[in-house]
Structure 1
Amino acid sequence: MATQHLVLVTGANGHLGYNLVQLLLQKGIPVRASVRNLRHKSALNNLNCEIVQADITDKASLIKALEGVDTFYAVGAAFKLWAKNPQKEIYEVNLKGTQNMLEAAAIAKVKRIVYVSSVAALNYNQIPTKESYGYNPDRRDMYYNSKNDGEKLAFELAKHYNIELVAVLPSAMIGSEIPGPLSVSYNIVDLILKKQIPIETKITLNWIDVKDVAEACILAATKGKSGERYIIANEKSISLRESTQIAQRLFPALNIKLPIAVPKSLLLLFAYLLEMGSKISGKAPLLSVKDIAMFSGLKQDFDISKARTELGFNPKKPQLALEEAMQHLYTRNQV
């Protein structure tokens, strides 16, 4: 039996990172798991992996973490859609982080990188969306900009340093264990269960089980073609209204109401007032004017034939992924 080479997973205490570490270990692959702050490693303590400190904004820490590593799963990033200073807290962190990761990998002589991008880096001008349609021309959101520009930079630097790099572009990850605070996507499911989405927004989401994304990352490492990008999602998106209907069916005792349709002008006013409140509280608004402008009515439907054919990617149906995520969150909320 061939000896398995050491891999590094950054952001290992996050939703995807944690599930990826678990799956790699189940497959007998030795894992070095990095976290930004060792005070936040408790979820990893029961896993048979090496735990180290590394921050994507600190190249020296990445060089040290990548010593002796064959395959690098670049999971760690600033994943948030709102910040007081989005240019500095989201865009610059992710762009500088990408540069640091690639330069550190070159110094450590890493052979292959699986770069976790996002469906945010896709061009939605044609539906269903394909990888070949290019990058997102909509520049209104700093997180989306960071994923577009970060992925392009990753490919450029990988070519410059002669490192094999495959990009995976997941959609809204939900399900399974989440070691820390809820992710952006998972938080939306939680808001449905807590009856905190009262108004119809006509926003749809492409739900994907995080374990399917973790499996796709490993498939990308072994089967993905260097220089290629793969959409890791389901074919069809589900509206928040349809998602709420699933919650109603699963938990009738919660008496969850369907969101009420209102004129778009009223919806924008509601979002504006929430944003004003966020400037005072410092907390992300439940809804922003930009969310309505960018996502209301946008169909996040994808052609995933490339990932199916080249990687063997076969995701769980979105309705099932959502049902399981809701069951998991419901149980978590009862504890």
Structure 2
Amino acid sequence: MSNEISLVTGGNGHLGNNLIRLLLSNNIKVRTTIRKIDQKIPLEGLSCEVVQADLTNRDALKKAFKGVTNLYAVAANFSMWSKNAKVEVYDNNLVGTQNVFDIAQECGVKNIVYISSVASLDYTKLPAHVDNGYNKDRRNWYYNSKNDSDKLALELGKRYGIRTVLILPSAMIGSKAFKLSYSNDLVNKILNGEIPVDTNVSLNWIDVKDVAQGTFNAMLQGKNGRRYILANEKHTTLQESVKIASERYPELNLKNPKKIPKWLLYSVAGLMEFSSKLTGKEPLMQRHYIDMFYGLKQDFDITYAIQDLGFKTKPSKKALIEALEYLKNDWDNK
């Protein structure tokens, strides 16, 4: 095993944990950061060093980054809703990105693979491509944070002379998971028959292990300053996703989501938003989500990832079937 240390921030998260397992299987020395030291269950049995470090704590990051050559910046606040989204999501992600690059420069880190998101892409021209620019829709603080932290990562990488490669995954699903990510939770809702209406939203499912492999390849051979979309080229609708689950598990008697007009979805979303102000819980639908995603086909141009990274991904349907199987039969934290 090489003495060079690869650091993965957020090693107890869905992608971070799968990435650590991949790195270890390639005989790479790994250190990882987690926000709370008592959240180590996903790392049990893994031969990696674990350090407690929040991205907002610069002193903790200095300790974690010492001696690190390659840094996988995975950790971020992935929250599509929050009581105070400007502070808790947007500011947190921007400050975290600034700190990661500042401390990486101080500690002599040579390479950073930064995990962005397809949320930062411009969807006005499909299939979405990194050369089209950034998402112009500024109605959601999470999407804003991915837009602006993506730009900031590239700017800081260039300023500090750190080779910086950006990865933009779509909806990551599958094993191993130790809590339900946003995307895995949606798959679980499909299994549980909790999709009563068709919101006319499309998904772009991708196996988290394919993203982990693409991320590793990006460290090995990604071009400095380039953004790579890790996704399937074609979307899958919510209707199609439920149908796949229904055909796979007929005993669940899953019902096709009912199609209802957009104006009615909009009205229901408004009521849910009002209720969330009283309960403090995330609404199942929000009006600006409907505005952003209604009828949107999440298709992507992944040419750069194929050419530069040798990116390969299992088809969306296969990724979904495997995720359904995992969540139905093997997921331990139900």
- Give me the TM-score of the superposition, normalised by structure 1: 0.97
Which whole-Å deviations, capped at 9, do the CAs of 1:258-284 have from their partners, x for residues lacking one? 110112111111111222222222121
Query: Is the counterpart of residue 39 in structure 1 residue 13 in structure 2?
Result: no
Amino acid of the structure 2 residue aligned with 1:247: A
The separation in 2 between residues aligned to 1:276 and 1:195, in whole angstroms, is 25
Amino acid of the structure 2 residue aligned with 1:26: S
Give the structure 2 partner of residue 84 of structure 1.
83
Query: Is the counterpart of residue 323 in structure 1 residue 310 in structure 2?
Result: no
Q: Is contact 1:33–1:50 with CA below 8 Å preserved after alignment?
A: yes
Q: Pick the aligned partner of 2:307 from 306, 309, 313.
A: 309
Query: Is the counterpart of residue 166 in structure 1 residue 165 in structure 2?
Result: yes
Give the structure 2 partner of residue 186 of structure 1.
184
The separation in 1 between residues aligned to 2:195 and 2:263, in whole angstroms, is 17
Give the structure 2 partner of residue 297 of structure 1.
295
Query: Is the counterpart of residue 16 in structure 1 residue 12 in structure 2?
Result: no
The separation in 1 between residues aligned to 2:213 and 2:301, in whole angstroms, is 19
Instruction: Please state how far the C-alpha of 1:200 moved relative to its aligned partner.
Output: 1.1
Which whole-Å deviations, capped at 9, do the CAs of 1:21-68 have from their partners, x for residues lacking one? 011000111100110000101220210100111111111111110000
Amino acid of the structure 2 residue aligned with 1:8: L
What stretches of structure 2 of length at least 5 have no aligned partner? none
What stretches of structure 1 of length at least 5 have no aligned partner? none
Q: Pick the aligned partner of 1:262 from 240, 260, 263.
A: 260
Give the structure 2 partner of residue 28 of structure 1.
27
Q: Is contact 2:128–2:301 with CA below 8 Å preserved after alignment?
A: yes
The separation in 1 between residues aligned to 2:23 and 2:213, in whole angstroms, is 9
Query: Is the counterpart of residue 228 in structure 1 residue 210 in structure 2?
Result: no
Relative to structure 1, is the Cα distance of residues 50 and 88 closer, same or farther in structure 2, using a 3 angstrom cutoff? same
Percent identity of paired positions between Structure 1 and Structure 2: 50
Q: How does 1:114-133 map to 2 (within 5 A)?
A: 114-133=113-132
Instruction: Please state how far the C-alpha of 1:194 moved relative to its aligned partner.
Output: 1.2
Amino acid of the structure 1 residue aligned with 2:204: N
Give the structure 2 partner of residue 286 of structure 1.
284
User: What SS does the aligned partner of 1:56 have?
Assistant: coil
The separation in 2 between residues aligned to 1:280 and 1:46, in whole angstroms, is 43
Instruction: Please state how far the C-alpha of 1:4 moved relative to its aligned partner.
Output: 5.4
Amino acid of the structure 1 residue aligned with 2:316: P
The separation in 1 between residues aligned to 2:283 and 2:329, in whole angstroms, is 26
User: What SS does the aligned partner of 1:40 have?
Assistant: coil
**Shift >6 Å, 4+ stretches:** none
Which whole-Å deviations, capped at 9, do the CAs of 1:177-219 have from their partners, x for residues lacking one? 112x211111111111111111111100110100000001100
Q: Pick the aligned partner of 2:246 from 237, 245, 248.
A: 248
Q: Is contact 1:199–1:262 with CA below 8 Å preserved after alignment?
A: yes
Range moving further from structure 2, 271-280 or 10-19: 271-280
Q: Is contact 2:177–2:331 with CA below 8 Å preserved after alignment?
A: no
Instruction: Please state how far the C-alpha of 1:3 moved relative to its aligned partner.
Output: 2.9
User: What SS does the aligned partner of 1:31 have?
Assistant: strand
Give the structure 2 partner of residue 74 of structure 1.
73
Which whole-Å deviations, capped at 9, do the CAs of 1:147-197 have from their partners, x for residues lacking one? 110010111111111111000000000011112x21111111111111111
Amino acid of the structure 2 residue aligned with 1:212: D
Q: Is contact 1:74–1:115 with CA below 8 Å preserved after alignment?
A: yes
Q: Is contact 2:2–2:29 with CA below 8 Å preserved after alignment?
A: no
**What RMSD, in angstroms, separates the aligned Cα atoms of the two structures?**
1.2
Q: Pick the aligned partner of 2:200 from 202, 211, 221.
A: 202
Instruction: Please state how far the C-alpha of 1:332 moved relative to its aligned partner.
Output: 4.3
Q: How many aligned residue pairs are there? A: 333
The separation in 2 between residues aligned to 1:28 and 1:134, in whole angstroms, is 37
Q: Is contact 1:4–1:28 with CA below 8 Å preserved after alignment?
A: no
The separation in 1 between residues aligned to 2:2 and 2:40, in whole angstroms, is 27
The separation in 2 between residues aligned to 1:308 and 1:207, in whole angstroms, is 17
Instruction: Please state how far the C-alpha of 1:245 moved relative to its aligned partner.
Output: 0.3
Amino acid of the structure 1 residue aligned with 2:51: V
Relative to structure 1, is the Cα distance of residues 332 and 282 closer, same or farther in structure 2, using a 3 angstrom cutoff? farther
The separation in 2 between residues aligned to 1:91 and 1:178, in whole angstroms, is 25
